Amino acid sequence: MTTTTATDRPRARRVRGGSSWTSFALRRLGGLAGVVVVAVVVTFVIVPLIPGDPAVSAAGPDATVDQIARVRAQLGLDQPMFDRFLDYVGGLLQGDLGHSFSLNAPVSDVVLRRLPFTAALAFGALLVVLAVAVPLGMAVGALTRGGRRRRLDSAFGYTTAFVAAIPPYVLATLLVLLFAVTLQVLPPAYTRSQPGVSMLLPALALSIPSICLIARVVRRETAVVLEQDYLRTARGWRLGTVRTALRYALPNLLTSTLTLSGIILVGMLGGAISVETVFSWPGLGLGVVNAVATKDYPLVQGIVLVLAVLSALMTMLVDILLGIVDPRVRGGHHG
Amino acid sequence: MAELTQQAGTAPATPVSRPGRLRWNAALIAGTVLLVVTGVVVTIAALTMLESAEGLSPDIAQPASAAHWLGTDDFGRDLFARALVGAQASLLMALAATAISMTAGVLIGTAIWTAPRRVREFALRIVEITVSYPELLVAVVLAAILGAGRWQLVVAVALANIPATARLAANLSGSIHQRDFVTTARLTGVPRRALISRHLLPNMAEPLLIQVAAAFSTGLVAMSALSFVGLGVQTPDYDLGRLLADALPAIYSRPIEVVGPTLLILVLSIGAMLIGDGLAAAADPRVNRTAPRTPPATTEPRQRDSADAPEPAESSAPVQVRDLVVRRADGTPLVHGVSFDIGRGEILGVVGESGSGKSLTALSLSRLLPEGLTAEASRLRVAGVDLLGRTTRRELADAVAMIYQDPGTTFNPALRMGSQLTEVLRVHRGKSAREAREIITGLLEDVHIVDPPRLLRSHPYELSGGMRQRAMIAAALAAEPSLLIADEPTTALDVTVAAGILRELERIRDETDTATLFISHDLGVVEELCDRVLVMKDGVIVEELSAEQLRSGEVTDPYTRMLLESVPRLSTTPGAGA
């Protein structure tokens, strides 16, 4: 459950000082370090875990013995496991992610070229999501409070649930069918000449399900917050509807909304894998798919590592934002 | 199967939920029917339509017709049959992956809690970390290791799903381990296996069932996504994702090819969504609680036709209430025509059990009645403000201030005390932030807060109940109200803390000429504090007493006598109520 209220939080009876911020930031950094370490270990063991001889499968079915030997040397398979791990970590520390077989280029170059596309897509989609979902959810929550406007409530509930249940790549296909094939107003895939316009459909495909999910949460939380005693207190102080909504309701919605947005943003990185494929969007998602398909293991390792670190960074950013918005998060040990 | 049970207001006395007694609802039924029907149809299709789905025929690239509902592909295979057979493959793979990930996840999650402390904490950290990666990314990594193909795909998606289930199971068993009834069972020597089977699993059943639905739906989506991007099922095998990917290149020339796989993916994921939502709604009474249908309530009390009652003599009391009736939306009266005055500097007590209408009376005076309740009266005045007519927010804020029962929930948890306490002064008195802060600091000192600046810097959760209630009083006094309504202000507090709050109310009466309406169910407290007492029962005033009458036991109404006799009297220490 993502909802937490004042009553089920541990009550730390201490006044905020510098120390709580420092320990909060340290805890979050520790969490980030853990995620990065596990990601480094996991990406390293991809190659040794591949059944059979990774060099044979990477070199392809038509490879000669020489080619296989060269791939084996490039993957470092001729060295002991521990030395390879040290090499891998040492390379990472110098920003060396290895060398891509299929593109014959440093993995770091490939990643740097593709990263802006995925970042633009994910953050663009997130902005759209928050700009639409929060006002929508609050409005529906306020309009349907206390069992009012039943029809609006169930129409909203069913529509959002159905749309959110559509997998992103299916939604992407439907969007192509509608906007590119039938209406012919938007390009069906990435075109180098107009990157902005061609980003519209993938961003929509990524954001629509999340809009529905977050709007549902905001609607439910609005209903809960409107019933809270502190809102009655604010009404008793006669502060007016707008001031009450913005100062007393919104901050208490943000905790759960932000928590969920972090999860959704991380999920968008996953969704990008399939959506980028539909639109041939040259980001990291399509990159990792191509790398796996061509058994370009160093490229797989590099992109997966970058995506994992990105998702950890986003989780940490959201945590820190939460700490700013909701001081109780800083006090608790499990945040 | 579970039977249909009405969720009548039977709050379970024991926390153990009864497994097998599922509360069916519309979403759950619709989802189950959808998935079962689809499952049966695609299974029959896989048994009978295999030839038209996979056999090559000369009818290549046909449009939709009676013979081929969705046309045929470039090899003359019937696309409708292919979609159904592909859906069966997707369904079976999703079920297999769900079974694997649930079994492994629950085993890992519960095992973590039987492990030694060190191991447990390390394992929990690892699970937390693995959950933080996008699931599809994990599945892609596993697909890279295992290679492409049906079973590799099932294993990859199942493994990717395990951390989420393991974390849920670990959290569930963790919280159940710490609950009172498990502690009791452990202390009374219930064997470990009985503990798990009798106490742990039944309490985990409902959330885990929801997780099954979630695992199925994410598994279905993840697998078809992987097949779609080319990392899952490989030709000549096919599932829904593969079929959609095959149809995509020809989307301009033959858009009908995407219809079959798209529809079936939608049917399956919407079925799974409905089941998940339905299960969640059945488990969470907050979601499926049906709020009463209420018309929009007017917050303004209505003028009541007082033709039947003679206009009472003009009173000079600042608070005047005549014939106050509070009704539910369906017209049922909850307060039946209550009349009283409160004089300047007077504390009027209102006592009665819950449901006697004492709080509704107070909320009518403050115009804060809950949604769906309406008030009407022939007169409702506070310090010259007619609460039956239109009033500005400023007038209301000047007229009435409230102190509530539970100081733990009356302040906004997300804002510092300073910004909340100064709100009234800034909004209604036009004070600057610093002036407001100075005024409220003085008021906090008046209510005996030791370090006001520190309190103003704090968030509500950092303060004790007594401090919060004192702050609430200070906030109420900031508006210099004519009427102060204290609705059971000491009920949620310790006896000694409560005594302090009562002394503050006495001090306010003595130092200002504020009228106070003090609501309580505790005659002992009322007897100490109030100048005059109204006894309410079932929405009517049954008796009005002076404090002396109450103290000497001069009561006539049997209900008052009953209330009076229920007050425990060990000593008659003044000031310390109850």
Interface of B with A in 463-492 (CB under 8 A): 463-464, 472, 475, 479
Summarised one tens digit per residue, pLDDT across range A176-205 is: 989 988 888 888 888 888 888 889 999 999
Q: Please answer yes or no on whether B134 and A311 come within 8 Å at the CB atom.
A: yes
Asked if residue B154 lies in contact with residue B100, where contact means CB atoms within 8 angstroms, the answer is: yes
Q: Please answer yes or no on whether B462 and A16 come within 8 Å at the CB atom.
A: yes
Which residues, other chains included, contact A96 with Cβ-Cβ below 8 Å and sequence gap of 6+?
A106, A108
Select from B136, B299, B300 the residue whose CB has the most chain A CBs within 10 Å, as the one to mutate to test that interface.
B136
Compute the mean pLDDT over every residue in chain B, rounded to the nearest whole number.
Answer: 82
CA atoms within 13 A on the CB side of B128: 18
Is the pLDDT at B411 greater than 50? The verdict is yes
Helix residue spans in B50-116 (DSSP H): 50-54, 79-114
Residues of B in Cβ contact (< 8 Å) with A291? 144
Of A241 and B444, the structure prediction assigns the larger pLDDT to B444
Q: Please answer yes or no on whether A237 and B397 come within 8 Å at the CB atom.
A: yes
Interface of B with A in 379-398 (CB under 8 A): 393-394, 396-397
Chain A's closest residue to B416, CA to CA, is A327
Residues A323 and A321: their CA atoms lie apart, in Å, by: 5
Query: Could you say which of B228, B258, B270 has the minimum Cβ distance to residue A274?
Result: B228
Task: Give one DSSP letter per residue of B28-47, joined into a string.
Answer: HHHHHHHHHHHHHHHHHHHH
Is the pLDDT at B32 greater than 70? The verdict is yes
Residue B12's pLDDT band, with cuts at 50, 70 and 90, is very low
Identify the top-confidence range among A87-101, A254-268, B301-315: A87-101
Chain B: give the shortest CA distance to residue A162, in Å: 6
Select from B35, B131, B140 the residue whose CB has the most chain A CBs within 10 Å, as the one to mutate to test that interface.
B140
Residue B173's pLDDT band, with cuts at 50, 70 and 90, is confident
pLDDT at B299 (0 to 100): 52
Query: CB-based contact (8 Å) between B462 and chain A?
Result: yes
Work out whether the CA dihedral B166, B167, B171, B172 comes out positive or negative: negative
Is the pLDDT at B233 greater than 70? The verdict is yes
pLDDT at A14 (0 to 100): 42
Peptide bond between residue A168 and the one before it cis (omega within 30 degrees of 0):
no
Residues B389 and A204: their CA atoms lie apart, in Å, by: 50
| Angle at alpha carbon of residue A98, lines to A93 and A101, rounded to 5° | 175
Unique residue bearing structure tokens 């449901």:
B355
Collapsed DSSP state (helix, strand, coil) of residue B46: helix
- Superfamily of the domain at B316-565: P-loop containing nucleotide triphosphate hydrolases (3.40.50.300)
Summarised one tens digit per residue, pLDDT across range A101-159 is: 888 899 999 999 999 999 899 888 888 888 899 889 988 988 887 777 889 988 998 89
Q: Please answer yes or no on whether B458 and A16 come within 8 Å at the CB atom.
A: yes
Q: Please answer yes or no on whether B461 and A34 come within 8 Å at the CB atom.
A: no
Q: What is the dihedral of CA B487, B489, B495, B496, to 10 degrees?
A: -150
Is the pLDDT at B4 greater than 70? The verdict is no
Alpha carbon B332 to its chain centroid, in Å, reads: 28
Query: CB-based contact (8 Å) between B294 and chain A?
Result: yes
Q: What percent of chain B has pLDDT over 90?
A: 20
Q: Please answer yes or no on whether A277 and B130 come within 8 Å at the CB atom.
A: no
Q: Please answer yes or no on whether B404 and A233 come within 8 Å at the CB atom.
A: yes
Which residues, other chains included, contact B122 with Cβ-Cβ below 8 Å and sequence gap of 6+?
none
List where CATH 3.40.50.300 sits in chain B. 316-565
Is the pLDDT at B264 greater than 70? The verdict is yes
> How confident is the model over B436-441, as a mean pLDDT?
91
Is the pLDDT at B44 greater than 70? The verdict is yes
Residue B555 CB burial class (10 angstroms; 0-12, 13-18, ≥19): buried
pLDDT at B501 (0 to 100): 84
Query: Could you say which of B140, B252, B404 has the minimum Cβ distance to residue A229?
Result: B404
- Superfamily of the domain at B28-54+73-282: MetI-like (1.10.3720.10)
Collapsed DSSP state (helix, strand, coil) of residue B400: strand
pLDDT at B292 (0 to 100): 42
pLDDT at B570 (0 to 100): 53
Q: Please answer yes or no on whether B413 and A326 come within 8 Å at the CB atom.
A: yes
Q: What percent of chain B has pLDDT over 70?
A: 87
pLDDT at B21 (0 to 100): 58
For residue B469, which of B503, B439, B437 has the smallest C-alpha distance? B503
List where CATH 1.10.3720.10 sits in chain B. 28-54+73-282
Summarised one tens digit per residue, pLDDT across range B280-339 is: 888 765 444 444 444 444 456 666 655 444 444 566 788 899 999 998 888 888 998 889
Query: Could you say which of B135, B224, B296 has the minimum Cβ distance to residue A148?
Result: B296
Residues B440 and B242: their CA atoms lie apart, in Å, by: 68
Select from A160, A170, A303 the residue whose CB has the most chain B CBs within 10 Å, as the one to mutate to test that interface.
A170
Angle (deg, nearest 10), helices A168-175 and A195-226? 130
Residues B443 and B574: their CA atoms lie apart, in Å, by: 26
Chain B: give the shortest CA distance to residue A90, in Å: 22
Asked if residue B148 lies in contact with residue A295, where contact means CB atoms within 8 angstroms, the answer is: no
Query: CB-based contact (8 Å) between B253 and chain A?
Result: no
Query: Could you say which of A147, A251, A328 has the minimum Cβ distance to residue B293?
Result: A147
**Global ipTM:** 0.84
